[in-house]
Amino acid sequence: MKCPLSISIFFLSIIHLFGQESNCFENASGAYWPMEVGLKKNLSYGNNSYVSTFAGDSVEFEGKYFLVETQSYSNGDVKTKYWRTEDEAVFSLNQEKNRQSMELPSNPEVGTKWKSSDQVWSYEVVSLTSTYSTPFCEFSDLLEVKTESSEREGTVYNLYYKKGLGMIGLNVNGQPFSYIKPNRKPNERGFIAFGCEDSGTSQEIEKCTYAKISQHISENLKAPKSETKGRILLNVRIDENGDVSNVEVLETVENGEALEVEAIRVMSSLPKFIPAQVDDNQPIATNLKVPFRF
């Protein structure tokens, strides 16, 4: 019996896990907020992107020296930030307000709270072992800080920091907004459903693959007896052999256990795919985020 519930399937993002260590910064170590001369990072930012650099310039404020960070955006904008460290704590300088504020405490622990010097922003360390997925990499053992502003009621920001690298991700109200990108652009190709490999352009192949996944779900999903409504978000791992190797729940609803079990069962039964590839036809694992709306 097919599921009589109204199920909306949206494919939010394909997350490629590259095999090269240099792409995903596995060897990074050190402070959660490194400020080294010559440090350069590439980050997405909403529909934009920017390159962060520390050239070695500094400014003085109340006897303290702040290192200058230049953010050069793809739309031509250039922004300047000012940072310093003291006993491993990190401080920012707001030249317009003529004040400095702590951005990160020394030796952060879960539950640590603080506020900006103007009392507008509140911060809380919520985890030291968070994970974060980007369209290129999966990160683990991250420092996660939740922050809110009294001037932006209802908006919650979650920042993710990796030792030796700094901020690698920013979520706004639970949705990715900014993330670090590899230092070099890999030549990647997403996974493909069998029967779609000769469908035309890469966009047409992707559309065909998604259509086959949607067809599989609609033909196999059965309705659990539940009055629960809402969204369940799954992460489906497709390994380097093209097989579904793991399905886990990222988001769920209250009393949604039966819906979770059925959604996991259906996604676990997906047929074999042609695996994603990078560079010289090297097969790689891929994560597919699939939200179900019941």
Q: Give me the pLDDT at residue 280, please.
A: 56
How far is it, in rounded angstroms, from Cα 205 to Cα 189? 11
pLDDT in tens, 51-76: 999 888 899 999 999 999 999 998 89
Most confidently predicted of 96-100, 124-128, 196-200, 243-247: 124-128
Full-model pTM: 0.59
Which residues are 166's β-sheet partners?
162
Contact (CB, 8 A) for 141 and 129: yes
How far is it, in rounded angstroms, from Cα 234 to Cα 237? 10
Q: Give me the pLDDT at residue 46, please.
A: 86
How far is it, in rounded angstroms, from Cα 98 to Cα 183? 35
Q: What's the alpha-carbon Rg for the chain, to the nearest Å?
A: 22
197 or 16: which leads in pLDDT: 197
186 or 92: which leads in pLDDT: 92
Query: What is the overall mean pLDDT for the chain?
Result: 85
47 or 100: which leads in pLDDT: 100
pLDDT in tens, 162-207: 999 999 999 999 988 999 987 655 556 789 999 999 998 888 998 9
pLDDT in tens, 226-269: 777 888 888 898 988 999 999 998 888 888 888 899 999 999 99
Number of Cβ atoms within 10 Å of the Cβ of 51: 14
> What DSSP state is assigned to residue 96?
T
pLDDT in tens, 134-168: 877 889 999 999 999 999 989 999 999 999 999 99
